[in-house]
Amino acid sequence: MVGASVGGEAGLTTNVVAAGTTRDSARPYARSWLDVFFGAMTALPGPTWVAYAVLTTLSILLSNSALWLSGLRPWGELDAQQVYWGATTAGIAAAAHHLRNLAGASFDRFRPALGSGIPDPERVRYELTVMPAVPVAAITLFSFAVTPLYYLTDPVASQVVGLTPVGLGARVLSEGAATTVFLAVAFQAVRQLRAVTRLHRDADGVDPFRPVPLYAFSRLTSQTGIVLVLWISGGVLANPAALDVEGFAALWLPWLVFTPLVAIVVFVLPLLGMHGRLEAEKDDLEEAADGRMRDLVRELNEAIDARAADRVERVDRMVSALRHERELLARLPTWPWSTGTIRGFGSALLLPLVLFLIQRYLGAALGG
């Protein structure tokens, strides 16, 4: 599902690179190998989602190959957990590619609100959409170093008992790649959300009567939260221990509460600054309208005292117009998201509960 969405916005990847090459200051660091990979996936012929579908198949085969090479399963027979983790690795990579494109598109929609508050917008766009090479290289080295150490520390829990050296090598390659992708995506998500907070703080073209640009980054933060929900919920679903009562207490109960809370923080926290700015703008407009209403009421009373019917009628029309203005100001939104965005995000928060109900049903059916 995430991989399909990548294809819809694949053309933006070229724009990201083009935007980053307009001048040296717009490229403060070299691209990571993951960004090079995303560019290569986009450059392949056909829709990008097809490339990710092929990658998912290859990742599933790699994750299962450790069992096949070790003789623990017949060749071609798939293990459910290895299928899940292989598919998840490719799925998270596709999600990162999608969020990269979405960050660039969101920035472009936000441009009318930038004003002169951002001196180098192309540099900010580059930082939003491109990961720096050195940290991602460090994450990669760390992932492939810590994976075999984990096997040595606890071979039973890591499920490497019985693997041959060749099978163990395939498992290190599969799980090292998965760890790298997960950590790199988390690293970039934090960078993107911090950049959104900074953009909302520094932009000086904020206009509550032009809310569409101000909604731009709510899609990015909401979909980042949704990716988190899908990732964690799927991981719990893939754990067979969650089917029993003890598994529910140890796995499902914490995640049913924790996952939606973290997703809400990811969605809302970067938008709080813009919410505060919109509230301040609205307060200023309402305060100005209240001051004009006070002056008009004073003028209306003076006209009534003077028995000036024409003046009373004229001022009364202005009072009526100002009353409509105050009603309009009261309806100005102060949260920077559209109804569709909040509806989609709210639906995604229900996913852990839906998966829990499915899991309990399957557990009861299998137990019966």
Query: pLDDT for 54-69, tens place per residue?
Result: 999 999 999 999 999 9
The stretch 245-253 carries a mean pLDDT of: 57
The stretch 46-59 carries a mean pLDDT of: 94
pLDDT band per the 50, 70, 90 thresholds, residue 3: very low
- Which is it for the CA torsion 137, 140, 144, 146, positive or negative? positive
The stretch 70-86 carries a mean pLDDT of: 88
Least confident of 134-138, 222-226, 243-247, 261-265: 243-247
As a whole number of angstroms, the distance between CA 67 and CA 65 comes to 5
Query: pLDDT for 149-188, tens place per residue?
Result: 888 888 887 778 888 889 889 999 999 998 999 899 889 9
Query: pLDDT for 181-240, tens place per residue?
Result: 989 988 998 999 999 999 999 998 899 999 999 999 999 999 999 988 887 776 666 665
Query: pLDDT for 257-301, tens place per residue?
Result: 777 888 899 999 999 999 999 999 999 999 999 999 999 999 999
Query: 29 or 157, which is more confident?
Result: 29
Inter-axis angle of helices 80-110 and 216-237, to 10 degrees? 170
- Residue 316 pLDDT exceeds 70: yes
- Residue 2 pLDDT exceeds 50: no
Query: pLDDT for 90-120, tens place per residue?
Result: 999 999 999 999 999 999 999 999 988 888 8
Length, in residues, of the chain: 368
**Per-residue pLDDT at 53:** 95
Nearest to 129 by CA among 272, 6, 15: 15
Q: What percent of the chain has pLDDT over 90?
A: 58
Nearest to 27 by CA among 95, 182, 35: 35
**Per-residue pLDDT at 14:** 40
**Per-residue pLDDT at 361:** 67
Phi, psi (rounded to 5 degrees) for 159: 60, 45
As a whole number of angstroms, the distance between CA 344 and CA 154 comes to 41
Global pTM reads 0.81
**Per-residue pLDDT at 247:** 53
